[in-house]
Amino acid sequence: MKILVQKFGGTSVSTHERRKMVIKKIKTALSEGFNPVVVVSAMGRKGEPYATDTLLSLIDTMFKDNNKQASDLLMSCGETLSTVILCNELYKDNLEAVPLTGGQAGIITDDNYNNASVLNVETENLISILKEGKIPVVAGFQGQNEKGFITTLGRGGSDVTAALLGVALNAEEVQIYTDVDGIMTADPRLVSEASLIKEISYNEVFQFADQGAKVIHPRAVEIAMKGNIPLVIKNTMSNCDGTLINSSGDLDTNSIITGITHMSNRVQVKVNYEQNKNNENYNLLLDVLAENMISIDLINVFPKENIFTIDEKDLAKFDSIMTNIGLTYSCIKNCSKIAIIGSRIRGVPGVMAKVLKALIRENIEVLQTADSHTTIWCLVEEKHTNRAINALHKEFKLG
Ligand code: ADP
Ligand code: MG
Question: Which residue range(s) make up the domain with 9?
Answer: 3-179
Report every protein residue that has its C-beta within 5 angstroms of ion ligand 2: 156
- Whether residues 140 and 280 share a domain: the answer is no
Instruction: Compute, in angstroms, the gap from residue 174 CA to the centroid of ligand 2.
Output: 14
Residue of 361, 368, 397 whose CA lies nearest to 310: 368
> Beta 35-40 vs 97-100: how paired, if at all?
unpaired
Burial of 265 (0-12, 13-18, 19+ CB in 10 A): middle
Residue of 36, 183, 151, 176 whose CA lies nearest to 97: 36
Amino acid at 391: A
| CATH code, 294 | 3.30.2130.10
**Residue 341 falls within a domain, yes or no?**
yes
Residue nearest to atom 22 of ligand 1 (CA): 187
**Residue 108 falls within a domain, yes or no?**
yes
Instruction: Compute, in angstroms, the gap from residue 215 CA to the centroid of ligand 1.
Output: 3
- Whether residues 169 and 306 share a domain: the answer is no
> Beta 243-246 vs 259-272: how paired, if at all?
unpaired
Burial of 53 (0-12, 13-18, 19+ CB in 10 A): middle
**Residue 228 falls within a domain, yes or no?**
no
Please say which residue of 179, 197, 228 terminates a domain: 179
**pLDDT for residue 215:** 94
Residue nearest to atom 4 of ligand 1 (CA): 9
Atom of ligand 1 lying closest to residue 189 CA: 16
Atom of ligand 1 lying closest to residue 186 CA: 23
Q: Which ligand is nearest to the CA of 156?
A: 2
> What distance, in Å, lies between the first and last C-alpha atoms of the chain?
41
Three-state secondary structure readout of the chain: CCEEEEEECCCCCCCHHHHHHHHHHHHHHHHCCCEEEEEECCCCCCCCCCCHHHHHCCCCHHHHHHCHHHHHHHHCHHHHHHHHHHHHHHHHCCCCEEEECCCCCCEEECCCCCCCCEEEECCHHHHHHHHCCCEEEEECCEEEECCCCEEECCCCHHHHHHHHHHHHCCCCEEEEEECCCCCECCCCCCCCCCCECCEEEHHHHHHHHHCCCCCCCHHHHHHHHHHCCCEEEEECCCCCCCEEEECCCCCCCCCCCCEEEEEEEEEEEEEEHHHHCCCHHHHHHHHHHHHCCCCEEEEEEECCEEEEEEEHHHHHHHHHHHHHCCCCCEEEEEEEEEEEECCCCCCCCCHHHHHHHHHHHCCCCCCEEEECCCEEEEEEEHHHHHHHHHHHHHHCCCC
**Residue 237 falls within a domain, yes or no?**
no
Do 160 and 220 contact (CB within 8 A), yes or no? yes
Amino acid at 11: T
**pLDDT for residue 251:** 54
**Residue 357 falls within a domain, yes or no?**
yes
**pLDDT for residue 252:** 54
- Dist. CA 45–CA 49, nearest whole Å: 9
Instruction: Tell me the per-residue pLDDT of 225-254, one tens digit each, with 9 for 90 and over.
Output: 999 999 999 999 999 999 999 988 655 566
**Residue 236 falls within a domain, yes or no?**
no
- pTM, 2 dp: 0.94
**Residue 212 falls within a domain, yes or no?**
no
- Whether residues 48 and 174 share a domain: the answer is yes
Burial of 152 (0-12, 13-18, 19+ CB in 10 A): buried
How many domains does the chain contain in total? Answer: 2
- Dist. CA 244–CA 266, nearest whole Å: 31
- Whether residues 64 and 165 share a domain: the answer is yes
Of all residues in the chain, what percent carry a pLDDT higher than 90? Answer: 93
Angle at 348 between CA 346 and CA 349, to 5 degrees: 130
Ligand 1 pocket check for 236: Cβ under 6 Å: no
Please say which residue of 159, 179, 199 terminates a domain: 179
Ligand 1 pocket check for 36: Cβ under 6 Å: no
Q: Which residues contact 394 (CB under 8 A, 6 or more apart)?
A: 193, 358
Atom of ligand 1 lying closest to residue 184 CA: 24
**pLDDT for residue 380:** 98
Q: Left if phi > 0, otherwise alpha if psi is -120 to 50, otherwise beta: which for 313?
A: alpha
- Whether residues 135 and 275 share a domain: the answer is no
**pLDDT for residue 375:** 94
Instruction: Tell me the per-residue pLDDT of 283-299, one tens digit each, with 9 for 90 and over.
Output: 999 999 999 999 999 99
- Dist. CA 196–CA 398, nearest whole Å: 10
Residues in the chain: 399
**pLDDT for residue 340:** 97
- Dist. CA 160–CA 154, nearest whole Å: 9
Low-confidence ranges of the chain (pLDDT < 50): none
Neighbours of 268 (CB within 10 A): 20
- Dist. CA 220–CA 222, nearest whole Å: 5
**Residue 225 falls within a domain, yes or no?**
no
- Whether residues 284 and 166 share a domain: the answer is no
Please say which residue of 179, 208, 225 terminates a domain: 179
- Whether residues 175 and 290 share a domain: the answer is no
- Whether residues 9 and 123 share a domain: the answer is yes
| CATH code, 151 | 3.40.1160.10
